[in-house]
Amino acid sequence: MRILFAGSPAIAVPALETLAELELADSGFYLAGVLSNPDSARGRRGRPEPTETAAAAARLGENLRREGRPPLAILKPERLDSAAREAVAALKPDLLISFAYGRIFGPRFLSLFPQGGINIHPSLLPKYRGAAPIPAAILNRDRETGVTIQRLAREMDAGDILLQESFPLSGRETAADLSETAARKGAALLPGVLRGLARGDLAGRPQNHGEASYCSLIAREDGRIDWSRSAAEIDAGIRAFTPWPLSFTCHGGQELFILEGTPGPRMSPVSEINPVPGLVLGINKARGIQIQTGDGILEVTRLQYRTKKALDWRAFLNGVKNFAGSRLG
């Protein structure tokens, strides 16, 4: 079975590595090529760099070449137009596997694959269809989430479920942590799904569309902290927006990132009757800087001004005068 893998961010890399391992094991599955987003400007110098998936594909392609395998085609089209379809058709793929590629596959594109396409999605579908299921699970303080491998369908994330695995959440995960977990688990599920498809005995289970929920792309402004919200909600946002866009507020005319913290006491020890959201109350020597929220106290342990490096709370206070008593935001 010849496979075209479509992915862009780092979360897709373990699945791609698994496919390369299957090819090297002569399992009957072969990487026909990799489809990823075009190179984009990154870093301070703004030099064009490949996506994490495309970079991994170049490395894996070299490994395959050393083992006597054919060159691995890496496609980076701006659009999935007729030229892109022609390039894909030349690879003669049987199956499309997608994981966070970032674009919708139209019917003409999917028609290039005799065995159709499957998608790895980091949620328990039909929950959190859409582009940001990992931050959504953290923001909603879910107790569990999971990974689903489903058939690609015309409606986003609405295809039949081929395999699904759930796992518990501790309530302290960041989006970065949860992405790594989902990447590993999705990659581990992939060989079993491929073998089932090859045998023809893996039947999909239709989703209950009435239970579907949706999540949208995260925007930078989503990271702005609303101190009138509860400490638990703000804490969830800090974790959901790590590593991007990060949770931020304003102090002394400067943008201040709140990188780590935990909910503390429910009521302010200073102002229980009329709490002032965003007020820096002081410190707890064991737990960090205490900031009043609309409900409870957030105890912050790591901060960063936009133009400076990230610091633990003690080092931060050493360089900032009169932080206690100020109001953030």
Determine the length of the chain. Answer: 329
Backbone angles phi, psi at 224, to 5 degrees: -70, 125
Q: How many CB atoms lie within 10 A of CB 4?
A: 23
**pLDDT for res 266:** 67
Joined together, the tokens standing for residue 319 give 């360089």
User: Which residue type occupies 288?
Assistant: G
Which residues of the chain fall below pLDDT 50?
A: 268, 270-271
CA distance 290 to 300: 6
Q: What are the structural domains of the chain?
A: 2-215 (3.40.50.170), 220-318 (3.10.25.10)
Separation of alpha carbons 231 and 140, rounded Å: 14
H/E element, 42: strand 40-42
Distance between alpha carbon 105 and the CA centroid of its chain, in Å? 20
Residue 310 burial class via C-beta count within 10 angstroms: exposed 0-12, middle 13-18, buried 19 and up = middle
pLDDT tens-digit series, residues 79-113:
999 999 999 999 999 999 999 999 999 999 999 99
User: How confident is the model at residue 225, as a pLDDT?
Assistant: 98
Sorted by sequence, the CB contacts under 8 Å of residue 129 that are 6+ apart come out as: 121, 123, 156, 157, 158, 212, 213, 214, 215
Which pTM does this prediction carry? 0.94
Output the pLDDT for position 272: 55
